[in-house]
């Protein structure tokens, strides 16, 4: 359940950015997002990470065969590197070709659309993991 809660928190972090971005309006100068939105995003992402990482690392050391703990732990960190690569691809979706010539509000709409989908996906994954939590606990053979 902590793992799913961490995902939901991270998803809400993306949702905060989308909410802040959708409240901006075009002005004479470039629209600026208040620092409180960034602070809330970092807070939720950090709290989510604090729920995810210790639970995942603990599960690996408890569930992996004794002789394979190092290999499985390395696989955990390898998946994190794949996730960072995927995050780079998603961020790249916010800057398509010809993006430099777009109006500021068009760019903002693109950002909020991409990170809105990220928020929905991460929150959905968290809810799915929460729903599967009893099954996963039974598969863990009594590991807390």
pLDDT digits (tens, 9 = 90+) for 113-122: 888 999 999 9
SS3 96: coil
Name the percent of the chain in helix, strand, coil, to the closest 5. 80, 0, 20
pLDDT given for residue 10 in this prediction? 93
pLDDT in tens, 6-43: 999 999 999 998 898 877 765 645 666 778 888 999 99
Q: What distances in angstroms separate CA 94 from CA 29, 36, 38, 87, 114, one per listed residue?
A: 21, 22, 18, 11, 7
Question: Considering the domain boundaries, does residue 108 fall inside one?
Answer: yes
Q: How far is residue 24's CA from residue 39's CA, in Å, rounded to a whole number?
A: 17
pLDDT band at 84 (very low <50, low <70, confident <90, very high): very high
Q: Is residue 44 part of a domain?
A: yes
Please give the residue range of the domain that contains residue 123: 2-139
pLDDT in tens, 126-138: 999 999 988 888 8
DSSP string, 6-21: HHHHHHHHHHHHHHHH
144: in domain: no
């Amino acid at each position: 359940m902590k793992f799913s809660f961490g995902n939901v928190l991270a998803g809400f972090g993306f949702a905060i950015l989308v909410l802040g971005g959708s409240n901006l309006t075009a002005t004479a100068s470039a629209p600026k997002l208040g620092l409180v939105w960034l602070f809330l995003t970092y807070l939720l992402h950090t709290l989510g990470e604090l729920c995810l990482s210790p639970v995942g690392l603990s599960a690996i050391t408890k569930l992996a065969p004794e002789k394979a703990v190092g290999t499985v732990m390395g696989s955990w960190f390898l998946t994190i590197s794949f996730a960072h690569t995927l995050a780079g691809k998603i961020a790249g979706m916010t800057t398509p070709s010809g993006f430099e010539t777009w109006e500021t509000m068009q760019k903002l709409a693109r950002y909020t659309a991409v990170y809105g989908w990220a928020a929905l996906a991460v929150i959905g994954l968290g809810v799915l993991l929460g729903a599967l939590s009893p099954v996963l606990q039974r598969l863990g053979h009594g590991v807390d």
